[in-house]
Structure 1
């Protein structure tokens, strides 16, 4: 990959990566649970975005102003994001799972001038009691909301042309807040130039998106992964995006993959795990699917094996962070490396470093680090120079994720820095234990954490969600412990197993191990 090809022109607005595909080609194919469906072409999407951008400017919103967006999987979401970028506004995605206390922090910390929200979600904004001195406009769509501006009225009669804001590649485009598993979430600032580099890395080298592909990326608006794949990667590639507005159900998702003839799929590990446990997985015709990828957290080897055996599909795991883009991925089909993170897409920018920020020897566990001059690295943590500085060591940004690399430069994930378990002097990565447990027929989902022990310092504890109809018993606990001993080094087996109805997760679907450790 040529480094120069990742650097945007000095005057650059990332909206142009989408609008350059303007034509009567279908940009989005949308469907909901009831079976209602709609489509929109690239031309129509651009015209509607131009009307909304004119509406924003008519209110007095200008380049650099912050806009909090709370919405869901709707065509209007794409219109809002495209219009905001064209107007030079800085988009701050907000999940509908956030509550009033979360929203008031984001409103005041970001100094947002406006909120645009799907009407069914406004209730949490209306619960806010605190002052929000920077907020001037509240805009709703998808229904009338008293005392809120209507997006429909804001766009009505507006011109269908709009001159994009003259933004520089270093100008801010997105302000994405981290999941916030501890303390207040940090605001991650991404530039227009970041979007340019991201499309060329993730869409072309990982998702393998072609202009004629129908692509389904299941991420929901409200976190950075939606910006990554459903928005920038798909529309920036000139492909057609499939959007499903409905609850996750394994059978329904598999049926849609078959009936829609999806070519590229980007799912969360949890969705893949649930589909892998579906008894009739192998009965679906997924032959049109040429690329299936997973991101968000490590995907268990067992799940990869099931999809390959039942469907002939090789799921390729990928790794990145809110602060960056896709960094490491399985881009080839070396089956001896299945279960690894893959290789860095730009090896000169990604390294395993020791506690001093120096490259670690082969097979030595260290921290995954990104060279600070990487074109698709975040600009800074908003209003938090201390956290920005603390995340850097020498020439690198430290991700906080632990791994080692082998002789072929494949990275092998060991967990977050805080997730690694030290027991009786042994260093144990939770992922290997989780992989072993997931091979057992009774387990639907699991997470492994450290539990304090007066003799060993810590012991391995497994928090397990069982498949429907199976109960946790002392006999099953012993069976699971023996099962893991037969698959991994004996010292890694879980000495404690707790059966749970569900695992705590962040709004983006990642398991909150910090909560499990706290128990």
Structure 2
């Protein structure tokens, strides 16, 4: 039996700590027509007495403590005005809008307004270069731009930006329309009437992937895949109506839409945003405490900074804490548990989907595991020949079991969709191990896993050990050619301030890893560097490091210095 949207949400909320019941009884809603902004946000959250006047969005400026708070009713009305304004400016159903805003109110207003219009949003981080923007304008076939005023100049030299509708928010710029006109012009104040129904399979969001192994791909999401698909994300995060949820993520990336837009508002929770000019752990923790945040999701980098603070002295309202992006080290989980009595729960998903795996509230947790398939997902592991194995590429069942959250596909040239989701399974490109209890542990990207002396090596596993060393700030492991073993694990390492890139540090790190991994997994070479190649989202591009190794580039050409295991006779063998 297929549930409708409200039924599916209510079912998951009712069984938030009963994983087996939730998985057995849940079914994805499969509506033919659906517009989440109109049919859920406006018709339910902004209408029902339980939620209509509850804060939907709270944005706090951490340095000053200044706060902006808007209810569901207020955001309904404000997004209506923005939708009317955009329609007046020529934005039509199916048109593509490049949205490049920081964590300010116009971002949420625009997301809702575009959805109501049936327009398609291409979220973009404010960190994009002019070259990145040019690529997005061309490949995204953009017709309208909404950007922060401070970033308007990035578009001036772009040929592809000429002739497009250009709107600035949070300030004005010469030649651009001011976003504030939507709220100041009385013509846009009389509610919003859609020009027709929205099909659930109509395009809604286009996301450029982070491009860790190749040029960023353009992911197509519909009015079903994210608005309905993030029911699973709500379940993993453990959100409930009335929660105050903080997700530490930057606009422009899929995780921001996951947990700073869809999942909290599916639950009827308040989205809490803490803006800082530069990340500072102590003041952010203070904002979490003062703001009454009840649920928190943060990447491991943030958790590592949090545990440097005196967490025991910080009294919060937190009930649920989660980690995303990569598995957390046991040390971090233990320290947070000791300080707050809360267990950080891991999860896994992709830009192409919602949360696929997770450790929901109330479930046993295995250290290092990303959990089990969430309600609505049927997952397995496949080898290169399509055989089901205990270690292999994560694959999601399609056909009648296809998750509603799965993208339509990738967009190729001239708008043609490459349907990467046909066949019996959708292959994620990520490798994992499954244990006898059905828990999955992430190994790495299929492109990054390599063989050394005929053993499979997970860079991710070794990097997780490396960053536990006091001297290591960041690490990336790739195969280095070797005449005997064909390849050996080599670590590129940037050091924490105060440590020197010398033989003593290298020996200490090699010995540290040696004591914590099996002999065949040992790091055999280390190269210290101050500049690891990264994507615009901050993910390390191992592919560039591998290319350098295969090309035989000298460490000095990259400004690095290399040490090998054979440099230390006591470590050989």
Task: Give SS of 1:40's match.
Answer: strand
| Contact 1:189-1:382 at 8 Å conserved across structures | yes
Distance 1:358 1:293, change over 3 A: same
Partner residue of 1:91 out of 110, 114, 121: 121
Task: Give SS of 2:226's match.
Answer: helix
Distance 1:64 1:2, change over 3 A: farther
| Contact 1:297-1:510 at 8 Å conserved across structures | no
Provide the rounded CA distance (Å) in 1 between the counterparts of 2:377 and 2:114.
34
Match of 1:78 in 2: 108
Task: Give SS of 1:234's match.
Answer: helix
Match of 1:462 in 2: 491
CA shift, 1:250, in A, is 1.8
Provide the rounded CA distance (Å) in 2 between the counterparts of 1:228 and 1:72.
16
Q: 1:275-314 maps to which residues of 2 (within 5 A)? A: 275-276=306-307, 278-286=308-316, 288-314=317-343
Match of 1:272 in 2: 303
Distance 1:4 1:441, change over 3 A: closer
Match of 1:50 in 2: 80
Partner residue of 2:177 out of 149, 161, 167: 149
Task: Give SS of 1:198's match.
Answer: coil
String of CA shifts for 1:406-451, please: whole Å, max 9, x gaps: 1111111111112113111111112222222233233333232222
Match of 2:40 in 1: 17
CA shift, 1:392, in A, is 5.2
Partner residue of 1:201 out of 232, 241, 248: 232
Q: Does 1:418 align with 2:447?
A: yes
Q: Does 1:406 align with 2:435?
A: yes
Q: 1:238-257 maps to which residues of 2 (within 5 A)? A: 238-246=268-276, 247-257=278-288
Q: 1:71-150 maps to which residues of 2 (within 5 A)? A: 71-128=101-158, 130-131=159-160, 136-150=164-178
CA shift, 1:388, in A, is 3.3
| Contact 1:7-1:196 at 8 Å conserved across structures | no
Match of 2:563 in 1: none
CA shift, 1:377, in A, is 0.4
Match of 1:28 in 2: 57
For structure 2, the residue ranges without an aligned partner over 5 or more in a row are 1-22, 47-51, 549-573
| Contact 1:316-1:330 at 8 Å conserved across structures | yes
Provide the rounded CA distance (Å) in 1 between the counterparts of 2:339 and 2:469.
17
Provide the rounded CA distance (Å) in 2 between the counterparts of 1:353 and 1:218.
33
Provide the rounded CA distance (Å) in 2 between the counterparts of 1:31 and 1:267.
17
Provide the rounded CA distance (Å) in 1 between the counterparts of 2:376 and 2:60.
40
Task: Give SS of 1:81's match.
Answer: helix
Partner residue of 1:259 out of 286, 290, 306: 290
String of CA shifts for 1:43-99, please: whole Å, max 9, x gaps: 111111000100111122211111110001112211111111111111100111111
| Contact 1:343-1:411 at 8 Å conserved across structures | yes
CA shift, 1:338, in A, is 1.3
Match of 2:540 in 1: 511
Higher Rg: 2
Cα RMSD (Å): 2.2
Match of 2:242 in 1: 212
CA shift, 1:481, in A, is 1.4
Dislocated runs of 4+, deviation >6 Å: none
Provide the rounded CA distance (Å) in 1 between the counterparts of 2:94 and 2:167.
18
Match of 1:496 in 2: 525
String of CA shifts for 1:441-481, please: whole Å, max 9, x gaps: 33333232222223222211222333332223211211221
Task: Give SS of 2:229's match.
Answer: helix
CA shift, 1:501, in A, is 3.5
Q: Does 1:7 align with 2:29?
A: yes
String of CA shifts for 1:119-156, please: whole Å, max 9, x gaps: 1111211131x3457x5301111111001111112442
Distance 1:71 1:474, change over 3 A: same
Match of 1:370 in 2: 396
Provide the rounded CA distance (Å) in 2 between the counterparts of 1:9 and 1:387.
22
Figure out how many residues of one structure are paired with residues of the other and give that number: 510
Match of 1:227 in 2: 257
Provide the rounded CA distance (Å) in 2 between the counterparts of 1:250 and 1:272.
9
| Contact 2:274-2:284 at 8 Å conserved across structures | no
Greater displacement, 229-238 / 503-512? 503-512
Match of 2:344 in 1: 315
Provide the rounded CA distance (Å) in 1 between the counterparts of 2:469 and 2:250.
30
Provide the rounded CA distance (Å) in 2 between the counterparts of 1:89 and 1:348.
29
